Amino acid sequence: MQIAAPYLMFLGDVPDALAAKTAHGIVDWRPEWCLGQLRLPGCKADLGIPDLTIPEAAERGAKTMVVGVVNAGGVLPEHWIPVIVAAIEAGLDVATGLHVRLKDTPAIREAAERHGRQLFDVRHTDQRFATGKGIKRPGLRLLTVGTDCSVGKKYTVLALEREMRKRGFDADFRATGQTGVFISGRGVAIDAVVADFISGAVEWLSPAAAPTHWDLIEGQGSLFHPSFAGVSLGLLHGAQPDAFVVCHEPTRTRMRGVEHPLPTIKEVIDLTIRCGRLTNPAIQPVGIAVNTQALGEDEARGYLDKLAREHGLPATDPVRFGVGSIVDRLAAQFPHSAPSTGND
């Protein structure tokens, strides 16, 4: 799908910044595409870009209104429907990552047909997937896994792609969530795939490649999360990762949206290896990525140093301190994939 930029980012009246993580991700990685934001009364999220009305956005050249939020069940609140219709009537296309399809709401479908506008449901695809086969395929793959959902798995692989390409690695980001699809222009929203076909969809997303090529696969959920572990496991088996990075947020005590306690990083490493060996017996951890936003800089550095010592792995905050140490580990553990220095 080709979604026209620039965007008007619609945040609705979401209760916190995490609920607007899709919009935040697009602004962070594609700021040049984001013209402004539209917030309803009571909205607790702010992207730090201009607040615009729909007429103002249309006048300034916005092409698409992106519903840049997530909520439980991916539903479309009734009071958002008139806003979406108004955007269509102003000449904007509409794109969303919600589970519900825009065209399934009669008022939205009829407005789009009447005004000749396009509706993009990024979570949904017409692509048909086979069941996963678990047959080892050429190429190298890295998967991000988490102690919880919303802990930085997407940001980590995007940071790794940027740093690895900068160093001359052959590496590509593979999106498995709606935000990643908006950012990369391709991918599969894996949590909208029927369960039997999740691993096959990931095999399709990351096909056989050159022996030195890295596919950097965005993880979803957590193997320990009672709501999303099924998606996480199917993704792990389909990805067949040679390497994985554990992502973590240090201030949480319980997993997001449930009462279950957060697993330890060691528990995540051990279970990922145990489950991942089904499709890649050589799977290994190569780093820990931590969202230290809630910590002061000295506290963050001390915490990361402690993790690195405890687990024998590089530990970093990809946004705050970069991912150079993890790329160093990849180069050491998979030397045939590292670019030549010219001294060979």
Helix (H) or strand (E) holding 286: strand 284-290
CA 156 to chain centre: 9
Q: Which of 265, 284, 287 is nearest to 273 (CA)?
A: 284
Summarised one tens digit per residue, pLDDT across range 138-153 is: 999 999 999 999 999 9
266-269 contacts, C-beta under 8 A, 24 or more apart: 266/310, 266/311, 267/224, 268/145, 268/146, 268/147, 268/222, 268/223, 268/224, 269/311
Summarised one tens digit per residue, pLDDT across range 34-67 is: 999 999 999 999 999 999 999 999 999 999 999 9
User: What is the model's pLDDT at position 73?
Assistant: 63
Class of domain 140-337: alpha beta
User: What is the model's pLDDT at position 127?
Assistant: 80
Q: Is the pTM of this model over 0.85?
A: no
What b/e readout covers 204-238, taking b as 16+ CB neighbours within 10 angstroms?
Answer: bbbeebeebbbbbbbbbbbbbbeebeebbbbbbbb
User: What is the model's pLDDT at position 266?
Assistant: 98
DSSP string, 61-114: T--EEEE----GGG---GGGHHHHHHHHHTT-EEEE-SSS-GGGSHHHHHHHHH
288 bridge partner residues: 246, 315
Give domain limits for the chain.
Answer: 7-121, 140-337
140-337 matches 7-121 in CATH topology: yes
User: What is the model's pLDDT at position 171?
Assistant: 97
7-121: what fold?
Rossmann fold (3.40.50)
Q: Mean pLDDT per segment of 10 residues, for the chain of length 344 residues?
A: 87 92 89 95 96 98 93 81 98 91 96 96 84 96 97 95 96 90 83 93 96 97 96 98 98 93 97 98 98 96 98 97 98 93 48
User: What is the model's pLDDT at position 187?
Assistant: 83
User: Tokens representing 304?
Assistant: 């990361």
